[in-house]
Structure 1
Amino acid sequence: MSLRSRFALAFAAVGAAVAVTVGALSYLAASDSVFAEVDRTLRSTTVALTRGMEKREEQTPAGTADTADTARRSPAGQNPAGQNPAPFPGLDLPAPGGEAAPQPVLQAVARDGTPIRLSGPLERLPVSDTARALAASGRAGESDTTEIDAGGHSYRLLTTALGESRGALQVAVQVDQTRDVLAGMARQIAAVSLAVMLVAAAAGRLLAGRVTRRLARLAEVAEEVSTDGRVTHDASEPVGGRDEVGRLSASFSRMLGRMVAAREAQERLVHDAAHELRTPLTSLLANATVLHRVTELSPDSRDRLLDDVQNETRELGHLVDELVELALAGRRGETEEPVDLAEVARRAARRVYRRTGRLVHVDADDSVVRGSSPGLERAVGNLLENAAKFDADGGEPIEVHIRQGAITVRDRGPGIAAEDSGRVFDRFYRADSARGLPGSGLGLAIVHDVAAAHGGSVSAGTRPGGGAAVGFTVSRSRLLPASRPRTKTATAD
């Protein structure tokens, strides 16, 4: 079953449950109210009948008869069956056939359980065991209410004990119309509940269609990616919306965008790496071919050949190391922590000094940033090694300038041409002036990735007075409150 259908069924179920609950409560409340009114009518009629019997007893000489005997000899009791009885004395009852409600049925029950018809359209009312018990031994005012079927109609029957073994009185009213009204109300409630359920289902399906349409689009994109691993431009566009589905879509689109960028970078890296590896491998293959005739070479030629093989192998190993470094950039999961940029620069300067013997002058403020200490140290180290490679004379120390998260390395080399300044951070890019120098063209690309990982940017230009000024920045949002503009200098040696 589709998610849209499930939404529609859920809305229909909730709507039906609410409608049925409200309808049932309304029906019960109406039923209780109507029958409470009927019961009040029965009680008031019973009270009036009791008072009328008490007045009749007051007119009868004491000790001549009990209430049941009086009822037997009353005009109502003496009238033959089928005739219209006279109302009980003292009780004002509507006449049969009047425009008022149907005439109530009045009946007395002797203490031995004998029914005595008093008034009403029925010849007699059924006397239950409960009614006999009330007539025989019930306390005065004790009553029982029930519903009966008699004469083809439904009646609400109230039996009230007179007390002192004087019997009981029964009053019944016809409730057919009341039942019909309540049945009609029940049918209306059922119809309304069904209508609410259908409207809720339609609304649920409409709303689910709007929600699931976007989810279906995301599902199509996910299936496309899982099938061939490729994402089209349109597939990575957000489907819109500010709700949870819209947020999911936006996050999903950003994730796909990063996947696309990562795949393109991976393909570009593989292509460039294959191109760069081809040159040293070709040279090594040629040298290996010459080594087959090593006995025919002069000692000087053998030495040059072995030096060439050694240099090519070293360069190949360095290239592989940088490729691995570049491929793993951003995937190491390095923990971010407060990093003192001046201390990072000093550590990188000491390492470069040990490798190249070049002095490095560090001019830094108290910039402390939130970032990866190993990554930032690799970036500064690559800048210093690049400067040491191009400034081979070593007449002056290499300078590291740090201000508010911006790191710049300056040298006195040949500088960077204007047409090269925008491309020196590309992978494997080698300026014409650098093609005769060792290196793979990946060092500054690693600097670019580290800067991007810290929300910064890279820059390359010419130093005033000659040389190059190459550096990167860390996002100012990563500067910690411990950072101060105070300057401190040091020379690594």
Structure 2
Amino acid sequence: MKRRSMRSRLTLLVAAAVAIAVAVSAVGCWYFVRRELSWQLNQSLRDIRVPWDAMNKAVRDCSPNPVSTSPDDGHPSFAEPMQIVFPDGTRCVMGNIAVKVTYREKKVADGYRGQEAVYDGYADDGTPIRVLVKNVDQNAAFVVARPLHELQSTLRSVSLMLAIVAALGVLVAATAGLLVSRAALRPVGRLTRAVEHIAQTEDLNTRIPVEGSDEIARLSASFNAMTAALAGSRDRQQQLVADAGHELRTPLTTLRTNIDLLLRSEQTGRSLDPGAKQRLLVNVKAQFAELTTLVGDLLQLARGDADHEPHVELPLHEVVTAAVERARLRGAEVGTDLSPWYVVGSATSLERAVLNLIDNAAKFSPGHEVEVALREGELTVRDHGPGISEEDLPHVFERFWRSPSARSLPGSGLGLAIVAQAADEAGGEVRLGNAPGGGTVATMRLPGNLTPRSDPDQPSQRAGA
């Protein structure tokens, strides 16, 4: 069964289900007909009136064997086998067919008046008969019977008819199952062809028409959403690679130029001025530092969702404190106003995001203090720089985007993108706007609690550097 196609399996399952239903219905119908015919036969036996004159004559001229029922010899003729049975098993046959005496006749003959029994028995010649035994007088039972050949013949005819109907039903069910499977699996066939086309051509723009709202339609819609997400991910990856190549080209060109100058001076024997050589080396070091920062930012953005640290509950105020200390080591002036707040996230990612916000604020407001505040899950970082134009605000969190005024300053344009990614991973959000009175304020909101939800006896996890 597993090696068959889905269409053949569905056809077989439909045919089998209908065959079982038809078989059960046929068997039930057969038993119903059999019960009805049997009841009618029993009722016809009960409707036979006791021939008292013939019974009295049979008792007077009791014969245990079949007797002639020809009117010529003075015996009345009967359509059914009849006889009288006594408690000792003695019988007086009233017709030309004798019924075998069993314990039932003896029991009824020895019972109370009106007691009866109906059962399937046999005549002396082995003919199957339906027997009615009824106590009609004290110590005597009247027995009447009818052959079962008509009942059996009718049941055989009904069985043959039901078998033919069942066979036709199974054949029709198999045909219907084949047609149903073709109609039902047509969308699956389109989906299969689309998947095979994508596997062969890697064309993620392929879409499947969605018709209706059933499970196949939902599957098609989900497939379209999946391919759209994959196409978007590939486009973003290609854009990241293109942007990274563009950003790496400038520092690499500068490095190659400076190193070529140093090598040419060594190869030609023309020593550079010590001051110029010192400036070249400082420039090379600065370009290496810029490349290192850029590569680190690219790795931070390019890592997958499953590649980050496990999210645990941690004190956000301690993470912010660690980031502020690192910013101060870099020469930034930072003032803090922090209150406790516990979040679930990655300490490393959040600390780097906070450090990026502080570095960004310090870069645009040299000589001014950066104000960092944390109140009930809302972290604000404010500078006192020139601010940012309204038309630039929608682009500040895009990768490699830099405002015209910031292109002359050091940086890769990835810092705020890393901040947005860290906030999203922690279930929060970040926004940037102009502060009242001048400057820029960055606001990051993270869900959490004022007190830790974990066991207070466990040591809290501090933010790592």
Q: TM-score, normalised by structure 2?
A: 0.75
Indicate if the aligned counterparts of 2:340 and 2:450 stay in contact, CA closer than 8 A. no
1:413 partner amino acid: G
Q: Match of 2:76?
A: 87
CA RMSD of aligned residues (A): 4.4
Judged with a 3 Å threshold, the aligned counterparts in structure 2 of structure 1 residues 223 and 415 are, in CA distance, closer, same or farther, namely: same
Please state if 1:119 is matched with 2:95: yes
Q: How far is 1:446 from its partner?
A: 1.0
Indicate if the aligned counterparts of 1:85 and 1:119 stay in contact, CA closer than 8 A. no
Q: Match of 1:309?
A: 284
1:270 partner amino acid: V
Indicate if the aligned counterparts of 1:106 and 1:118 stay in contact, CA closer than 8 A. yes
Q: Match of 2:461?
A: none
Judged with a 3 Å threshold, the aligned counterparts in structure 2 of structure 1 residues 57 and 6 are, in CA distance, closer, same or farther, namely: closer
CA distance in structure 2 between the partners assigned to 1:230 and 1:211 by the alignment:
27
Q: Match of 2:357?
A: 383
Judged with a 3 Å threshold, the aligned counterparts in structure 2 of structure 1 residues 346 and 40 are, in CA distance, closer, same or farther, namely: same
Please state if 1:3 is matched with 2:6: yes
Indicate if the aligned counterparts of 1:85 and 1:118 stay in contact, CA closer than 8 A. no
Q: What CA deviation, in whole Å up to 9, does each residue of 1:12-69 have, x standing for no partner?
A: 2112212211220221232134235435655886x947x76763376x4xxxx8x336
CA distance in structure 1 between the partners assigned to 2:211 and 2:343 by the alignment:
37
CA distance in structure 2 between the partners assigned to 1:225 and 1:307 by the alignment:
51
Residue 185 (structure 2) aligned to one of 212, 228, 234: 212
Which aligned pairs between 1:246-265 and structure 2 lie closer than 5 A? 248-265=219-236
Residue 372 (structure 2) aligned to one of 397, 400, 407: 400
**Comparing 442-451 and 207-216, the one that deviates more:** 207-216
Indicate if the aligned counterparts of 2:58 and 2:94 stay in contact, CA closer than 8 A. no
1:347 partner amino acid: A
CA distance in structure 1 between the partners assigned to 2:179 and 2:339 by the alignment:
62
Q: Percent identity?
A: 33
Indicate if the aligned counterparts of 1:224 and 1:231 stay in contact, CA closer than 8 A. no
Judged with a 3 Å threshold, the aligned counterparts in structure 2 of structure 1 residues 413 and 211 are, in CA distance, closer, same or farther, namely: farther
Judged with a 3 Å threshold, the aligned counterparts in structure 2 of structure 1 residues 482 and 78 are, in CA distance, closer, same or farther, namely: closer
Q: Match of 2:422?
A: 450
Q: Match of 1:223?
A: 196
CA distance in structure 2 between the partners assigned to 1:437 and 1:219 by the alignment:
53
Q: Match of 2:113?
A: none
State the SS of the aligned residue for 1:280: helix
Residue 281 (structure 1) aligned to one of 241, 252, 255: 252
State the SS of the aligned residue for 2:307: coil
Q: Match of 2:22?
A: 19
CA distance in structure 2 between the partners assigned to 1:147 and 1:370 by the alignment:
89
Q: How far is 1:286 from its partner?
A: 1.7
Judged with a 3 Å threshold, the aligned counterparts in structure 2 of structure 1 residues 329 and 421 are, in CA distance, closer, same or farther, namely: farther
Residue 397 (structure 2) aligned to one of 425, 447, 455: 425
CA distance in structure 1 between the partners assigned to 2:210 and 2:44 by the alignment:
71
CA distance in structure 1 between the partners assigned to 2:448 and 2:189 by the alignment:
43
CA distance in structure 2 between the partners assigned to 1:421 and 1:289 by the alignment:
41
Indicate if the aligned counterparts of 1:410 and 1:463 stay in contact, CA closer than 8 A. yes
Judged with a 3 Å threshold, the aligned counterparts in structure 2 of structure 1 residues 37 and 238 are, in CA distance, closer, same or farther, namely: closer
Residue 30 (structure 1) aligned to one of 26, 30, 33: 33
CA distance in structure 2 between the partners assigned to 1:255 and 1:78 by the alignment:
93
Indicate if the aligned counterparts of 2:45 and 2:132 stay in contact, CA closer than 8 A. no
Judged with a 3 Å threshold, the aligned counterparts in structure 2 of structure 1 residues 312 and 333 are, in CA distance, closer, same or farther, namely: closer
Q: Match of 2:112?
A: none
State the SS of the aligned residue for 1:234: coil
Indicate if the aligned counterparts of 2:433 and 2:442 stay in contact, CA closer than 8 A. yes
Q: How far is 1:191 from its partner?
A: 5.3
Q: How far is 1:232 from its partner?
A: 0.9
Indicate if the aligned counterparts of 1:401 and 1:407 stay in contact, CA closer than 8 A. yes
CA distance in structure 2 between the partners assigned to 1:85 and 1:406 by the alignment:
122
CA distance in structure 2 between the partners assigned to 1:198 and 1:250 by the alignment:
36
Residue 361 (structure 1) aligned to one of 313, 335, 339: 335
State the SS of the aligned residue for 1:309: helix
Q: Match of 2:303?
A: 328
Q: Which runs of 5+ in 2 are unaligned?
A: 86-90, 110-116, 136-140, 453-465
1:374 partner amino acid: T
Which aligned pairs between 1:51-200 and structure 2 lie closer than 5 A? 55-56=56-57, 60=60, 67-68=62-63, 76-77=67-68, 86-87=75-76, 93=78, 103-105=79-81, 118-119=94-95, 131=100, 139=106, 145-146=120-121, 156=129, 158=131, 172-190=145-163, 192-194=165-167, 197=170
Judged with a 3 Å threshold, the aligned counterparts in structure 2 of structure 1 residues 116 and 57 are, in CA distance, closer, same or farther, namely: closer
State the SS of the aligned residue for 2:354: helix
Q: How far is 1:176 from its partner?
A: 4.8
Deviating beyond 6 angstroms after TM superposition, the runs of 4 or more aligned structure 1 residues are 51-54, 147-150
State the SS of the aligned residue for 1:426: coil
State the SS of the aligned residue for 2:63: helix
Judged with a 3 Å threshold, the aligned counterparts in structure 2 of structure 1 residues 139 and 5 are, in CA distance, closer, same or farther, namely: same
Q: Would you say how many aligned residue pairs link Structure 1 and Structure 2?
A: 432
Indicate if the aligned counterparts of 2:432 and 2:440 stay in contact, CA closer than 8 A. yes
Indicate if the aligned counterparts of 2:361 and 2:383 stay in contact, CA closer than 8 A. yes
Q: What CA deviation, in whole Å up to 9, does each residue of 1:343-387 have, x standing for no partner?
A: 332222122222x13232233555544444433222212111212
Indicate if the aligned counterparts of 1:277 and 1:316 stay in contact, CA closer than 8 A. yes
Indicate if the aligned counterparts of 2:365 and 2:384 stay in contact, CA closer than 8 A. yes
State the SS of the aligned residue for 1:104: coil
CA distance in structure 2 between the partners assigned to 1:246 and 1:411 by the alignment:
53
Q: How far is 1:428 from its partner?
A: 1.5
Indicate if the aligned counterparts of 1:158 and 1:170 stay in contact, CA closer than 8 A. yes
Q: Which runs of 5+ in 1 are unaligned?
A: 94-102, 110-114, 163-167, 484-493
Indicate if the aligned counterparts of 2:55 and 2:94 stay in contact, CA closer than 8 A. no
1:173 partner amino acid: R
2:294 partner amino acid: L
1:219 partner amino acid: T
Q: Match of 1:459?
A: 431
Indicate if the aligned counterparts of 2:397 and 2:417 stay in contact, CA closer than 8 A. yes
Q: How far is 1:270 from its partner?
A: 0.6
Q: What CA deviation, in whole Å up to 9, does each residue of 1:129-148 have, x standing for no partner?
A: xx4x869xx95669973578
CA distance in structure 2 between the partners assigned to 1:239 and 1:319 by the alignment:
48
